[in-house]
Amino acid sequence: MSTDTPDAPSDDAPSDDPPSRAELAARVNELEDALDEATSADGTKKMSIIATKGTLDMAYPPLILASTAAAFGYEVTVFHTFWGLDILHEERSKNLKLSSVGNPNMPVPNAVAALPGMDRVTTKMMEKKIADNDTATIEELIETSLDMGVEFQACQMTIDLMDYDEADFYDGVTTGVGAATALQDMADADIQLLV
């Protein structure tokens, strides 16, 4: 009952003649171009990070990964939203706090951690550890990342929500971007992370 016998000419074949060598070569070129376009056009790898947290401990992972990926030759975008904006805020980034409440690894019980001034104490402890260990500061990591071509984006909606000004951010930070920009970056990226 089968009608698709191999020698029956199909409807979409323009002629009975087999394609010429030149036609085949042209088709191969066409397919190779399409493949180049489908796989990353220029071969550059991309990473997209969404940074949503603004505590001292949570500011590090996106910056360390961004600067390291840039060292690997990745094109890196970090989209900062909500408290993540504080990482890009020139003044606030130098005063990020460590929360002593809700972290079971902190050496103080929650009941004590909740006392006034405790966040300041635990933040000072952490800052001392960072200095003693020669760990880079947040500011150093941002400057280094910017030098290496990392694109830092500050979400416009949350800039307005937090009542920040575009001038509050480090030079080189991109403003005036939203979720669609972040989504586009994520769709194009080889690595996507939400921190």
Partner 1 sequence: MNAEFDIAETLDVKGASCPMPVVKTKSATDDLDAGDVLEVLATDSGSMSDIDGWAAGTEGVELVDQEEGDDVYKHYVRKTE
Decide: 88 and 54 in contact? Cβ < 8 Å. no
Name the segment binding partner 1 (CB under 8 A); options: 82-90, 117-125, 129-137, 152-160.
Answer: 129-137
- Least distance (Å) between residue 182 CB and partner 1: 23
Three-class SS state of 100: coil
Q: Which residues, 6+ apart, have CB-to-CB distance to 149 below 8 Å?
A: 70, 75, 76
Q: Which residue has the tokens 């036609």?
A: 23
In terms of phi and psi (left: phi > 0; alpha: psi -120 to 50; beta: otherwise), the region of 182 is alpha
Is residue 110 involved in binding partner 1 (CB under 8 A)? Answer: no
State the CB neighbour count (10 A cutoff) for residue 157.
12
Which residues in 53-82 contact partner 1 (CB under 8 A)?
64, 67-68, 70-73
- Least distance (Å) between residue 70 CB and partner 1: 8
- Least distance (Å) between residue 45 CB and partner 1: 9
- Comparing CB distances to partner 1, the nearer of 119 and 151 is 151
Spatial distance between the Cα atoms of 159 and 154, rounded to a whole number of angstroms: 7
Strand partners, 174: 153
- Least distance (Å) between residue 30 CB and partner 1: 28
- Least distance (Å) between residue 6 CB and partner 1: 46
DSSP classification of residue 29: H
Q: How many residues sit in the footprint of partner 1 (CB under 8 A)? A: 15
Q: What is the dihedral sign for C-alpha 147, 151, 86, 53? A: negative
- Comparing CB distances to partner 1, the nearer of 66 and 159 is 66
Which residues in 135-174 contact partner 1 (CB under 8 A)?
135-136, 141, 144, 147-148
- Least distance (Å) between residue 41 CB and partner 1: 16
Spatial distance between the Cα atoms of 74 and 67, rounded to a whole number of angstroms: 9
| Structure tokens given for 176 | 């005036």
Residues that bind partner 1 (CB under 8 A): 64, 67-68, 70-73, 133-136, 141, 144, 147-148
